[in-house]
Amino acid sequence: MGDGTEMRGRLATAGFDPPEEDLAILEQTYLATRQMVALLDAVSEARDERPALTFRLDPV
Amino acid sequence: MVGRLRDAGAVIVGKTTTMEFAIGLPEASKPFPVPVNPWRAECWPGGSSSGSASGVSAGFFLAAIGTDSAGSIRIPAAFCGVTGLMPTFGRVPTGGCIPLAFSLDRIGPLARTAWDCAAVLEVIDSPDFLSRIEDGLAGLRIGVMREHHLDGAEPEVVACFEAAVAALGELGAEVCEVRAPIYHELVATTLLTLWSEACAYHRSDLRTRWTDYTRTARTMMAAGAFVSAADYVQAQRVRRAGQRKLAELLAEVDLIAAPTVSMPAPALEQAMSPGHTARVHTMYWNSLGNPVLALPIGFTDGMPLGMQLAAAPFSEALLLRAGRAFQNHTDWHRRAPDLEVAHG
């Protein structure tokens, strides 16, 4: 599946239906996003890090 | 926030203009004012806290409140020639503020001076930012980040930054070169996190009111759909790795100095061009959570330039003390635009 098809699929899954003039911008952003994801996947020391996520139970 | 300011005697003069939901760029076709830079009307004041910085710069009010999730206090501070403080993540409560990215958003002051920022922070957080603000820089170790920050910058921009670094040394600080740990990775982490969190918040409205949003806002928010849950979790792991590496660096130095934006304010229509976004150096710090103070350091072609100082979490008092010392030594923060010249 080409980048354009995959990008449109992800937008459709999210429920977005952008006009053609926005799709050109989104295609560039999609490619940049995949590059950034690959950059982060290459940070080997992050694998055993505790993610900076917060889930806290408050007493009731 | 406003209640605390009023209780302390502040006179609230109004709400300033910002980018829609603090993201993207303003559009003239939308029902919100397009902000202008008080130094040159055709230039962008930066954002998203656009009116906060331009209003302080123009002398309309003493101080303003802004938010910063990727640079929204520090970029307008740099482009308008004022001082802005992004506090430690979590220090100033964000209740009542529509979120852009819940794990990145911070609220802080913009004002002409570091002293004024300290006075505002005392009110919106807890007291004790002014008592040691005159302690100076003697004995402090300051690391300077040049790598990634000055690539392709104009010689005048580099000269202003180097003069600011020299001033820190003249004030008694021990200045040395440092490298930003996993710089590009943390910039990526900020963007992926911001897009994901903004998309989650706005998704239902984007489905039904797509064109009500500005084009830049909606396309950036929709980019969250390109980030999987696993990608998001990996970004949060990288974030933690970055915090660990930066903590190691901050065991060697007390403060870190870097250009805020290595160019002057561009025209609005050029603000999102790739060549310009590569010269914005604020996003690195949003993923990390550390406090950062943005200061004016000079001018190029009549437009302001800025430097940012970063410190360990909850070290705002140290940052403000450094800013005060720098501003006692320089007068860039005292310069004010001639509004008649800038705006005809």
Tally Cβ neighbours within 10 Å of residue B229: 8
Q: ipTM greater than 0.85, yes or no?
A: yes
* Radius of gyration in angstroms for the set of CA atoms belonging to chain A, rounded to a whole number: 17
Q: What's the predicted TM-score (pTM) here?
A: 0.96
CA dihedral B84, B149, B70, B103 (to 10 degrees): -110
Which domains are delineated in chain B? 2-343 (3.90.1300.10)
Question: Which residues make Cβ contacts (< 8 Å) with residue B263, sequence separation at least 6?
Answer: B153, B154, B157, B276, B279
* Per-residue model confidence as pLDDT tens digits over A16-60: 999 999 999 999 999 999 999 999 999 999 999 988 887 778 787
Q: What is the pLDDT of residue B343?
A: 74
Which site among B199, B221, B238 would you substitute to test the A interface, given the most A Cβ atoms closer than 10 Å to its Cβ?
B238
Q: What is the pLDDT of residue B141?
A: 98
CA distance B289 to B86: 9
Q: Which residues are B292's β-sheet partners? A: B86, B310
* Per-residue model confidence as pLDDT tens digits over B296-320: 999 999 999 999 999 999 999 999 9
With tokens 């080997």, the residue in question is A44
Stated as kind and residue range, the H or E segment containing B54 is helix B50-58
In this model, does residue B151 exceed pLDDT 60? yes
CB pair distance less than 8 Å for A13 and B195: no
Stated as kind and residue range, the H or E segment containing B85 is strand B83-86
In this model, does residue B29 exceed pLDDT 90? no
Exposure class string for B88-107: b at 16+ Cβ within 10 A, else e = bbebbebeeeebbbebbbbb
Which site among A17, A34, A49, A54 would you substitute to test the B interface, given the most B Cβ atoms closer than 10 Å to its Cβ?
A49
